[in-house]
């Protein structure tokens, strides 16, 4: 296993940097609009006007059409003939299934870390958590916290040589990421969501450090499914127009999530009674 190295930020310009430019390339416009869709600055179902975007960026409609086609191919917008271009609504059923997949993948990764602990990895995760703790003292920092939240999970994946799989998951995360931003922007009005996420990250780290495999599945499921449980049916009741039609209602999804967590808790209780797997006693500097 190779040493843990810092995970560099993408070479692409950050949207907040691009916003101050006086001239914009097609690539700049694409990243700005994509970013605004992902953070819900452009709302699900909202009409996107080619003319308004052209005026905003002071470019012709030709590059705008190219950007819109690229966003359409990603599933971020839908083009309806004679009606216009609209931001794609959020498919909660798909978002839940992405979380389910993440739980299966990340549980395997965290179990591996339990069995092959690394002082270097734990140091980096603790540093990440220290930055999270510093950020939650402030207001209006959801984007910074979001990046640290993602980085925590990304570092675990990278340690197990699963960075490409992490990228695949991110590419499929369009609906979940927007749902996650809805969680950040609304749950914090009712509960200290940043504090909750920080505590959950701390718990995951301690479980890995202690080699407590029995509790990991429940802790990870509660953490990743937390947005659904915090928001409940509020999104469906208050912002139904944001949602795609689905075979499962939000209440059905929440019921299934609670059953999943209860099963994980029963499995954890049974596993706690079994002899613990022997783990490496020395940290590997990897």
Contact 72, 86 (CB under 8 A): no
Quote the strand ranges of 109-204, DSSP E: none
User: Which residues in the chain land under pLDDT 70?
Assistant: 1-22, 139-142, 185-191, 274-286
State residue 279's pLDDT score: 58
State residue 179's pLDDT score: 82
The distance of Cα 197 from the centroid of its chain, to the nearest Å, equals: 12
State residue 141's pLDDT score: 62
* CA separation for the pair 275, 219 (Å, rounded): 20
Q: Is 264 helix (H, G, I), strand (E, B) or coil?
A: helix
DSSP 243: B
> Token match 């030709």: residue?
62
CA-closest candidate to residue 3, choices 167, 151, 159 = 159
Six-digit token string for 116: 């092959």
DSSP 9: P
Task: Give the chain's count of helices (H) and strands (E).
Answer: 14, 3
Q: Is 258 helix (H, G, I), strand (E, B) or coil?
A: helix
Q: Is 201 helix (H, G, I), strand (E, B) or coil?
A: helix
CA-closest candidate to residue 76, choices 92, 61, 87 = 87
State residue 156's pLDDT score: 98
**pLDDT per position as a tens digit, 45-56:** 999 999 999 999
DSSP 49: -
CA-closest candidate to residue 19, choices 183, 143, 174, 184 = 143
Six-digit token string for 160: 């197990």
**pLDDT per position as a tens digit, 168-178:** 998 888 888 88
State residue 202's pLDDT score: 98
Query: Using N-to-C axis directions, what is the helix angle for 92-115 and 163-171, rounded to 10°?
Result: 170
Whether pTM > 0.85 for this model: the answer is: no
């Amino acid at each position: 296993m190779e040493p843990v190295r810092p995970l560099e930020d993408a070479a692409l310009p950050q949207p907040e940097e691009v916003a101050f430019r006086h001239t914009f390339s097609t690539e700049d416009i694409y990243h700005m609009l994509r970013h605004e869709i992902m953070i819900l600055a452009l709302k699900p179902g909202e009409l996107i006007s080619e003319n308004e975007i052209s005026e905003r960026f002071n470019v012709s409609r030709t590059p705008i059409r190219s950007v819109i086609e690229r966003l359409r191919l990603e599933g971020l917008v839908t083009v309806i003939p004679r009606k216009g271009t609209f931001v794609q609504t959020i498919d909660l059923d798909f978002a839940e299934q992405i979380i389910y997949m993440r739980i299966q993948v990340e549980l395997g990764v965290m179990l591996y870390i339990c069995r092959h602990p690394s002082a270097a990895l734990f140091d980096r995760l603790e540093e990440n958590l220290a930055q999270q703790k510093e950020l939650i003292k402030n207001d209006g920092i959801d984007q910074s916290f979001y990046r640290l939240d993602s980085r925590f999970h990304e570092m675990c994946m990278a340690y197990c040589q699963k960075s490409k799989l992490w990228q695949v998951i991110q590419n499929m995360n369009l609906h979940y990421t927007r749902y996650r931003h809805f969680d950040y922007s609304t749950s914090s009005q009712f509960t200290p969501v940043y504090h909750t996420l920080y505590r959950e990250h701390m718990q995951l780290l301690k479980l890995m450090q202690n080699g407590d495999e029995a509790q990991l599945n429940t802790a990870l499921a509660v953490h990743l499914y937390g947005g659904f449980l915090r928001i409940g049916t509020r999104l469906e009741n208050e912002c139904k127009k944001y949602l795609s039609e689905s075979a499962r209602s939000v209440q059905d999804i929440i019921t299934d999530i609670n059953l999943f967590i209860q099963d994980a808790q029963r499995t954890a209780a049974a596993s706690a009674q079994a002899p613990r797997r022997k783990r490496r006693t020395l940290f590997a500097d990897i």
